[in-house]
Amino acid sequence: MSTYFAQPFNLDAIGFYFDTLDSYAEQSENLLDAHGNLVEEFEIQSADGDDCELFLVCGINQANLNTWFEDIVNLSDYEKTVLHYLLGVSGYSLKSALDKLDEVNLYEGNLKEVAERLFDEFYSSDVPESIRAYIDYEKFSHDCKLRGDMCEFEFNGKTWTCTN
């Protein structure tokens, strides 16, 4: 389970840790500063857990915290990687990215590995066996990158390649 921290913008108040939306709501509704005033604005931070990198890329804040807990936390690891790609690499907004999760093709591995795998899958049957040894997968993957057919990125310590 991940832990988050609500840091008040009011310097006379002390923040709090939470791990659910209900816990956040309960603590934020009752938080008072040193002068007895209700604290209303917070910076939301990911303090501990597996999705800190995604949390940051999603731009989670007080206004969209419910989206994090309702729509993102329970995504599969693959869907979280797609979301990271759409937000961090392609520049989509969070709402648009969540709508496009099913439209992205990702493969674990670097660009050359994925290009080689896809070339072999789609084209190698058309290439005679005696010529296959001369195929330059490095150049093929470089061309795929230059044409925008493939894009390599890092997420959660792994290399991924998007093919669309």
At 100-156, the pLDDT tens digits run 999 999 999 998 888 888 777 776 677 777 777 677 778 877 887 888 788 999 999
Instruction: Tell me what the mean pLDDT of segment 3-16 comes to.
Output: 95
Tracing tokens 């108040």 back to the chain, one arrives at: 13
Q: Tens digits of per-residue pLDDT, 56-70? A: 999 999 999 999 999
Structure confidence at residue 85 (pLDDT): 96
In whole angstroms, what is the distance from residue 125 CA to residue 137 CA?
16
Torsional sign, CA 50, 103, 113, 145: negative
Residue 75 is classified by DSSP as S
Q: What is the DSSP letter of 30?
A: T
- Give the burial class of 30: count Cβ atoms within 10 A of its Cβ; 0-12 exposed, 13-18 middle, 19 or more buried: exposed
User: How far is Cα 28 from Cα 32, in angstroms, rounded to an integer?
Assistant: 9
Distance CA 20, CA 11 (A): 24
What mean pLDDT value characterizes the chain?
Answer: 90
- For the stretch 72-102, pLDDT in tens is 999 999 999 999 999 999 999 999 999 999 9
Asked if residue 83 lies in contact with residue 58, where contact means CB atoms within 8 angstroms, the answer is: yes
pLDDT recorded at residue 20: 95
